[in-house]
Amino acid sequence: MKHDSTPVGLLWISPWIVGFLLFTVIPVSMGLWYGFTDYTLLEKPIPVGLANYARMLQDDVLLTVLWNTALFAGASIVIGSILSIALAVLLSKPARFQSFWRAAVFAPSVLPVVAVAVIFKLGYDADTGMVNSAINTTVGWAGLQGPNWFGSRFWAMSALVLMSLWAVGPAVVIYLAGLRDVPRQLYEAAAIDGFGRWNRFVHITLPMISPVILFNVIIGIINAMQVFAIPVIMTGGGPDRATYFYSMYIYDQAFSYGDMGYASALGVVQFTIILVLTLLILLIGRRYVYYRGA
Amino acid sequence: MRNPMRTNPLAYIPLVLGTIVMLFPLWWMFIVSLETEEKAGSAMVSGSMLRLMPEDPQWNNYPDALREVGSVAWTGFLDALANSIVITVLVVIGTVLSSSLVGFAFARIRFRGRRFLFILMLSTMMLPAQVTMIPLFLLFRSLGWVDTILPLVVPSFFGTAFFIFMYRQFIAQIPESLVEAARIDGSGMLGIWWRIILPICKPVSALTAVFTFIYVWNDFMAPLIYLHSDEQMTLAVALNSFRTQYSGVEDVHLLMAVSIVTMVPCVLLFLAAQKYFIEGLGRGGLKG
């Protein structure tokens, strides 16, 4: 009766194996190779050694997009994490209409990104947009005024970071699931020992959900490295390249300037950055993250 | 003992404020889409106050706007709608079938290298799409697939790591006796997958379908790269071209109307399948 089911097993997962080879292994290897070539689509790729990578060292625009991407990633991850943990704690408490509040927080995340970019492009309009109207209506009496959002480098970046907070829904939901898994007895024991609300949060909640924070930070970095549609539609990278991001630069090199070689090399660097950051965070996490049962 | 968990009535204040912030932009765009040309330009502002209701709703804005999508009246919009629907439906079918099949094999067939391949599969979830974007474009271009829906649809029939993982976790919990009973009845593995596993996996399939639907319907980059002609555009790309054509202040209401139309399927799906989004993401995200 006993027989080796290895061929059967491999046959069954073969759709994934074939897909993995076709859509991951081959493209990644091709990308690596094109990174060492000059490839303009008009002719066959010409090997140029490390020329594309040498070019990066002198590329001021690359420096700008790296800085912008890091700034956006840092700001949106830090603010987004604080906000989503706070929202998750708030939504985890028993309350009336709980599923309504949860749905309201999650809803913006299911909307088409192009439509979202369109709303906010108009919404941030200095004179007629909803953001400044809301600011003027609520705190206008105190002499505060909405800025000209896309007029300056600082406010343009701030506008994009603020907007990214509108899509915290998925992170909130993942934190909610993490909070649900924190054993109740811990809070009860701490309450008996006279721990206040803030201390319970810092000494129980945060350590218990630290693996979830780690997970969300990694996802946040991957997402921030890929941010594309929103800035393309809202700012086109401006003003003065203040919101020009890594993925937009790759897209432009490939499809606007037709420089597939350089664009591929940029893709390799992007992947390396994500990989190194992820490993670094996992390493740091090993020290500070609390894994139950591990 | 339950005292520390009781909700303070004041906790409703941030809940209400948060909800307003989250939903207000949608209400705002809805109002703007119903304004007259003159008023839409000044949007919500009358004096310095927010206007919360349209004074004289112009429902005509919707047909007026949709007619202008693409280069031929109505055809542009209907083509884009049809393309979005066809691509989304095909990708959903492909993802559900292939991911459940592979997930079943990972859960129920013992074979050498299973653990290694499973971990390899999970690690591909970390790979950003841009890394394979250019080589894949060149690959599909050499196949003559550019400006067809094939580059967007075909890969989904080879399984998606995240959903394979979800199916595997779910199928691993199905009692062995069920599978054994079917095997004794003479069903082959393919029969067991189709007649027993797929029906039991309905919750995972629903989750896979709603997430895939939202992702594909909303995707901007892939259709932007692969679909060039008017006849092939998806709604997302059509909305973007509409935006560049009608960028003036005088067309704000039309732009908002088209934006809202592209959102409707997502909103309906979300309302209908809320629990799959909220529970499914919580479960999958934690174990992933």
Per residue in B196-251, pLDDT tens? 899 999 888 998 999 899 999 998 888 988 988 888 889 998 888 888 887 766 78
Higher-confidence position of B176 and B144: B144
Neighboring chain A residues of B112 at a CB cutoff of 8 Å: 6, 9
Cα A29–chain centre separation: 25
Check residue B284 and give its pLDDT: 60
B59 inside domain? yes
DSSP string, A101-162: HHHHHHGGGGS-HHHHHHHHHHHT-TTT-HHHHHHHHHHGGGT-----GGGSHHHHHHHHHH
Mean pLDDT of B112-129: 85
User: Into how many domains does chain B fold?
Assistant: 1
User: Whole domain around residue B60: which residue ranges?
Assistant: 7-283
Residue in chain B nearest A102 by alpha carbon: B278
Q: Which amino acid is at B32?
A: V
Yes or no, beta carbons of B218 and A114 under 8 Å apart: yes
* Dihedral (CA of A38, A43, A45, A47) sign: negative
A-facing residues of B in 43-82 (CB < 8 A) are 43-45, 48-50
A115 inside domain? yes
- Residue A238: C-alpha distances to residues A226, A241, A244, A248, B73 (Å): 18, 5, 7, 12, 33
Tell me which residue of A258, A35, A22 sits closest to B145, measured CA to CA. A22
Neighboring chain B residues of A133 at a CB cutoff of 8 Å: 43-45, 48-50
* Residue A267 and residue A250 in contact, taking contact as beta carbons nearer than 8 Å: yes
A186 inside domain? yes
User: Whole domain around residue A92: which residue ranges?
Assistant: 57-288
Q: Per residue of chain A (294 residues), give pLDDT as tens.
A: 456 678 888 888 899 999 999 999 999 999 899 999 998 888 888 889 899 999 999 999 999 999 999 999 999 999 999 999 999 988 888 878 888 888 888 888 888 888 888 888 888 887 777 888 888 777 777 777 788 888 888 999 999 999 999 888 888 888 888 888 888 888 888 888 888 888 888 888 888 888 888 888 888 888 888 888 889 988 888 788 999 999 999 999 999 998 999 999 999 998 889 889 888 888 888 777 776 654
Candidates B19, B101, B236; nearest CB to A112: B236
Would you report the helix, strand and coil content of chain B in percent, each value rounded to 5? Answer: 75, 0, 25
Tokens encoding B147 = 């400006």
Yes or no, beta carbons of B25 and A119 under 8 Å apart: yes
**Spatial distance between the Cα atoms of B214 and B207, rounded to a whole number of angstroms:** 11
Q: How far A99 CA sits from the closest chain B CA (Å)?
A: 9
B238 inside domain? yes
**Spatial distance between the Cα atoms of B259 and A114, rounded to a whole number of angstroms:** 8
Per residue in B72-93, pLDDT tens? 788 888 989 999 999 999 999 9
B1 inside domain? no
The whole-chain average pLDDT of chain B stands at 83
Report the CATH number that the domain containing residue A246 is assigned in CATH: 1.10.3720.10
Q: How far A216 CA sits from the closest chain B CA (Å)?
A: 9
Q: Count of CB atoms within 10 A of residue B287's CB?
A: 11
A30 inside domain? no
B2 inside domain? no
ipTM of the complex: 0.82
Exposed e or buried b per residue across A135-151, where buried means at least 16 C-beta atoms within 10 angstroms of its C-beta: ebbeebeeeeebbebbe
Per residue in B252-276, pLDDT tens? 888 888 889 999 998 898 888 887 7
Per residue in B87-119, pLDDT tens? 999 999 999 999 999 999 999 888 888 889 999
Report the CATH number that the domain containing residue B80 is assigned in CATH: 1.10.3720.10
B288 inside domain? no
User: Into how many domains does chain A fold?
Assistant: 1
B233 inside domain? yes
A2 inside domain? no
Q: Count of CB atoms within 10 A of residue A49's CB?
A: 9
A-facing residues of B in 77-106 (CB < 8 A) are 98, 101-102, 104-106
Tell me which residue of B29, B56, B57 sits closest to B43, measured CA to CA. B29
Candidates B11, B239, B259; nearest CB to A95: B11
Tell me which residue of A165, A88, A43, A158 sits closest to B21, measured CA to CA. A165
Candidates A110, A181, A222; nearest CB to B128: A222
Greatest Cα pair distance in chain A: 84
* Residue A88 and residue A179 in contact, taking contact as beta carbons nearer than 8 Å: yes
A51 inside domain? no
